Structure 1
Amino acid sequence: MDIQNERRRLLDADDEDGDLTGLISEQDAYLSKVKNRNLYLATFASVLGPMSFGFVLGYSSPAIPELTSITTDPRLRLDTNQASWFGSIVTLGAAAGGLLGGWMVGKIGRKLSLMFCSLPFVFGFTIIIAAQNVWMLYIGRVLTGLASGVTSLVVPLYISEMAHERVRGLLGSCVQLMVVLGIMGVYLAGLYLDWRWLAICCSIPPTLLMVCMCFMPETPRFLLSQGKRREAEEALRFLRGPDAPVEWECARIEEACDEQGSSFQMSDLKDPGVYKPLVIGVVLMIFQQMTGINAIMFYAETIFEQAHFKESDLASVIVGVIQVVFTGVAALIMDKAGRKVLLIISGVAMAISTTAFGVYFYLMSKLHSTPSLSLLALDIQSKAAEEPHADLAWLALASMAVFITGFALGWGPIPWLIMSEIFPSKVRGVASAVCVLTNWSMAFVVTKTFQEMMILLTSAGTFWLFASMCILNVIFTIAFIPETKGKTLEQIEATFRGTSGP
């Protein structure tokens, strides 16, 4: 159908209905006809993947204390080093999963990639359930990590390519929301279930993911990139409702796909529409891990103990609730406030809180007359040592609350959302794989070197380093990150190319 005729028909229809007054853009006219019910349904099905991912991340917290003290089967008992690997080996699997996911989304599509990634989730937890030795626990964690890496790449792409610009921020933020919801869910379940039953519960969301995705469409952009115009129109009709003239959107996407060509070539890296967003995506992932999120989460239980919270398990649940609430707030305001503003607010809040954490550890080291406060020194060894900790506990608690709130509002969900928005269709799989690999590799490096950083820089110096990284986050955001709120994926691409969008 001719685009100009479609525009004229839309405008005439809206004038007759009295829905719109005056001249309006074709984009607004089209979106006024869109119904979002099926789009929300498809999003819900896909975010069962991030929920599974959250269950994987959170599983080690309640499981490790049991596995380090298990008496019924000594073969499964973890020592300190094994427990460290049990927690961190997931990040290695996820890094590999990022590369695998980048290949899968280009070869078999977004929908099938999501369906297949549920298999290593289920197999991994099955191996953990049936574990007879420590190596089976490791293999199970690597498999669930692999699935988490694929999920962290595919789901943001699937949602961004399905959603229209008015709700893309809201729906894209649901990825991180479901991750933290999964973490909170496994913390809660861990209060009542042992590690094997907990693994059984963790296998439920990926099973539902496989079933639900059978009834959801492939993304229209992937279908059009494969030359499947009729299937793309059917997918759009499902996602936009019966009243939306989907031929207009289909023609717009098809035009962008034709301009880009079919497949990624290394020469494409010379294109500013490719290398600019790639650099931004990679730096965002580096900065996200260098904010100190893993360090804060590592200290969470100890800080609550120092503040006289006797139930450290309950403390983890409280942290999870804070994350869920403020990630939900970020999702609701994402399409109104914009990505850039939230990143700046988030970065400033985290810079202040990590600076305060550094002050807390500095004062603690002075109280104990030691040059540095190592991880071992954080244990309360005597009543004499407990009182100074309690006096300063408010500073640690306030810093942690501000940090988690700030991270949940911006640097938690937004790097993943921006990653799904800024890449041209033909390089989306490859570029996203590079970003996911960067994120999980940095997570592994920061986690495994954290204790060495504490010794080398002291506790205060380590958190002040995180504070300086948060300040760099803010500067980078102001200088280089474009606002993508309310723009189509094609308009975002045109921003990097320096041309006007469609």
Structure 2
Amino acid sequence: MDPKINTKPAYRPSTERTPLLRTEGGDGHAINSDIQKPQTFPSVLATFIAALGALSFGYALGFSSPATLALTVANGSDPVTSGPNMKLNKATLAWFGSFINIGAMVGGLLAGFLCDYVGRKLGLMICALPFCGGWALLAYAESVALLFAGRISVGLGVGMVSLMVPVYIAEVVSSDMRGTLGAVNQLSITIGVLVAYALGTILPYKWMAIVGIGLSAMHAFGMLFLPETPRWYLGRDMRREAKDSLLWLRGANAPIDDECCSIEQALESQETMSFKEFLKPGLLRPLMISLIMMVLQQWSGVNAVIFYAGTILETAGFSNANLASISIAGVQVVFTLIATLLMDRMGRRVLLIIAGSGMLVGCVAMGVYYEITSDHDGNPKGNLRNTFSPLAITAMLVYIAKFSLGVGAIPWLIMSEIFPNRARSAASGIATFTNWLNSFIVTLTFHHMQVAFGLDVVFWIYGGVCGILVVFVLFLVPETKGRSLEEIEELFEKPSIN
């Protein structure tokens, strides 16, 4: 943090507000109206443009399912590992599904650095570079090495936007809208997954990669017209630019002096950031909450389910797994939209508890389905898969719906809320790295766990993690609904959290 932050005088807004309108009362006397409420449209516009990065994120995740089906070698055929018509075996495809996570781990750490040193806006624009480069490699790769390189490059972009988009949105919207607009990040991810699944039914995966280039370029272009966040400007002693940003976001008649002063006071109370700060309770507690939530989110098994949705549904007896995957992605979008509407009404904790409990039920039901219909090696038992296929699709829909209701969006939203400004970029980078590290492990081990234990046990393991998530939220995660970022920071400085 710039040391000049602690030496500049505090910005003190006037306690007297200039009246904006004069209207006539019933007795003919003039009545002064107070300062108007902030405009909401600019914040909503900024949120949706920034969330185009999350759309690219979701598209990259959803791309895995149709691409895996297209690249899978036919039964009895030998893999073809080079040329325009490559076909890969299951072991190689497990790495194909997992390499995006390796790129995302690095991208999360890089994003923390970029957020601090070039800003949230420019950092989001830079994300287009690894996205476009990776999609180009995937579109034109004629070897396994280039295919993997493309996945890693796209993963780099995914990791960057997974950190930057929630942080940008959290810093440009007001506290009363932060839950609703913060959930737009996850809504955009689910729409991206849906778009990828839908295009997978009509386009070869190489043309899907070209669409990915267009999505990333559109995001970078849209960010050109948005302001940098006022908190980043004030952290660099750029008060005039911060006020211009607030004027753009809140409108000319909003009380931006009060908000500017609140942010500056929080910045002035902060010390220069160093890694030993992570040992202090005010930072250690939110860091541990965020890290544990990221681990539990991934070990609920969601990315394995999304990456291998087509394969899972094929084993459940569906002849057109792509169409079934589209149905699942559609459920994601609908329930994420519901979560967006409920986030600032019900709060984060209630939605997380409801969502985790529903995912537990879905996982148990999926496990029961595979226990009934498959032997230990995954071979079907007679015609039972067709008989019980409604159980499989219902269980998966319940699982995806409840994930979308809370477990998908809220860990990222809370990550963007609970860290103090001086540590937000670094701590968010650590949390993002942790998320993608565990996503890599879960995705890579899914196939091996399936072979070792059977899909029934795999889903029961994921269900157990969902139960742990519910207990963790119930006892250790504070409610952040309606609190400003500065109030949340003060909350963690207290001996107890409530």
TM-score by shorter chain over 0.5: yes
- Corresponding position of 1:182: 192
Match of 1:275 among 281, 284, 289: 284
Using the alignment, how far apart are the partners of 1:437 and 1:159 within structure 2? Answer: 20
Asked if the contact 2:13/2:261 (under 8 Å) is kept, the reply is no
Asked if the contact 1:187/1:313 (under 8 Å) is kept, the reply is yes
Q: CA deviation at 1:171?
A: 1.1
Provide TM-score, normalisation by structure 1: 0.88
Q: CA deviation at 1:15?
A: 11
Q: CA deviation at 1:477?
A: 0.2
Q: CA deviation at 1:452?
A: 3.1
- Corresponding position of 1:9: 17
Match of 1:53 among 54, 57, 71: 57
Q: Give CA-to-partner distance per residue, 1:150-209, whole Å, 9 cap, x none.
A: 110111000001111111111111111111111110111121111222111111111011
Using the alignment, how far apart are the partners of 1:475 and 1:198 within structure 2? Answer: 41
- Corresponding position of 2:94: 84
Unaligned runs of 5+ in 2: 1-9, 26-33, 74-78
Cα 1:500–1:299 shift into 2, 3 Å: closer
Q: Give CA-to-partner distance per residue, 1:437-465, whole Å, 9 cap, x none.
A: 11111011111122333344443333222
- Corresponding position of 1:21: none
Asked if the contact 2:69/2:311 (under 8 Å) is kept, the reply is no
Q: As a proportion of its length, which structure holds more helix?
A: 1
Cα 1:4–1:245 shift into 2, 3 Å: closer
Cα 1:148–1:475 shift into 2, 3 Å: same
Q: CA deviation at 1:42?
A: 1.2
- Corresponding position of 1:340: 349
Q: Residues 218-257 of structure 1 correspond to what in structure 2 (within 5 A)?
A: 218-257=228-267
Using the alignment, how far apart are the partners of 1:254 and 1:356 within structure 2? Answer: 52
Match of 2:46 among 35, 39, 42: 42
CA RMSD of aligned residues (A): 2.5
Q: Residues 133-172 of structure 1 correspond to what in structure 2 (within 5 A)?
A: 133-172=143-182
The residue type paired with residue 477 of structure 1 is V
Q: Residues 290-309 of structure 1 correspond to what in structure 2 (within 5 A)?
A: 290-297=299-306, 300-301=309-310, 304-305=313-314, 309=318
- Corresponding position of 1:112: 122
Aligned residue for 2:344, secondary structure, equals: helix
Using the alignment, how far apart are the partners of 1:411 and 1:239 within structure 2? Answer: 29
270-279 vs 144-153, which moves further: 270-279
The residue type paired with residue 292 of structure 1 is G
- Corresponding position of 1:469: 465
- Corresponding position of 1:329: 338
Cα 1:59–1:152 shift into 2, 3 Å: same
Q: CA deviation at 1:14?
A: 9.7
Cα 1:33–1:499 shift into 2, 3 Å: farther
Aligned residue for 1:484, secondary structure, equals: coil
Percent of paired sites with the same residue: 40
> Is residue 102 of structure 1 aligned with residue 112 of structure 2?
yes
Using the alignment, how far apart are the partners of 1:455 and 1:140 within structure 2? Answer: 28
The residue type paired with residue 243 of structure 2 is E
Using the alignment, how far apart are the partners of 2:470 and 2:320 within structure 1? Answer: 36
Unaligned runs of 5+ in 1: 19-28
* Aligned residue pairs, count: 474
Cα 1:296–1:386 shift into 2, 3 Å: farther
Match of 2:325 among 316, 334, 337: 316
Q: Residues 64-79 of structure 1 correspond to what in structure 2 (within 5 A)?
A: 64-68=68-72, 73=83, 76-79=86-89
Match of 2:206 among 179, 187, 196: 196
Cα 1:309–1:130 shift into 2, 3 Å: closer
Cα 1:63–1:37 shift into 2, 3 Å: same
Q: CA deviation at 1:3?
A: 5.3
Q: Give CA-to-partner distance per residue, 1:325-375, whole Å, 9 cap, x none.
A: 10111011111110000000001111122122222222235xxxx4x2x3x
Using the alignment, how far apart are the partners of 2:46 and 2:58 within structure 1? Answer: 19
> Is residue 449 of structure 1 aligned with residue 459 of structure 2?
no
Aligned residue for 1:9, secondary structure, equals: coil
